[in-house]
Copies of this chain bind each other. A is one copy, B any other.
Amino acid sequence: MTDVLREVAPDVVPAVLSGPSFAKDVARGLPTAVTLACEDMDLGEALAAAIATPTFRPYIADDLIGAEVGGAVKNVLAIGCGIIDGKGLGESARAALITRGFTEMTRLAVALGGRAQTVAGLCGLGDLILTCSSMASRNFSCGRALGEGRPLADVLAERRAVTEGVASAPAVAALAQKHRVDMPISQAIHDILSGERGVDEAIRDLLARPLRSES
């Protein structure tokens, strides 16, 4: 989005606010911590001080790309976590998907010029954990319906709100291909959403990959 901002408002200094923060939690004054990324760290500090409250804590970073990539990829991975839940594959499998998905998210951010450290923060990992754990997430609940065997068109037809991950999945897959980043989980979710592979086939393919080094 900061690329778009630079095109339409080139004189403006962009900042990114992102992190695990359900609106209802922030509104109720429950403790929340997010990332505020700005290349001008002095401005970032001033912005953070201006919007902070005793329970809403912005942590400062200077890596816009790292902060933006996490927010997009996490929606795709949350659909995958929903699928695992809908198919009843267990909490261990969900934790493995989040962890290996986090590795994919980090690889993509680094390939695009971001930093691994930023992705490990609230805007990346924090948001990923929240979105992948909660039925309140539209992406998670969409995946759950797919895992239960319902067709995507039916799931989307019942919704007024946008399920961001459905729109982000082809963009993430295209970026991964363009930058030659290995993202087998994100690709599998894209294939399921596009009808390229069925849920069972995609899971079978992931489990059939050769054993390898974790990093």
Contacts and interface: CB of A to CB of B under 8 A. Distances in A.
A212 B89 CA distance: 40
A5 interface: no
A49 interface: yes
- The contact size tier of chain A is 35 or more
Given A99-B121, A120-B103, A22 B130 contact: no
Interface string A63-102: 0000000000000000000000000011111111011101
A102 B126 CA distance: 10
A148 to B, nearest CB: 17
A12 B21 CA distance: 48
Contacts of A96: 19-20, 31-33, 57, 122, 126
Nearest to A45: B211
A214 B122 contact: yes
Contacts of A159: none
Contacts of A28: 90
Contact of A214 (B99, B102, B121): B121
7 contacts: A22-B91, A30-B93, A32-B90, A45-B211, A54-B207, A54-B208, A55-B207
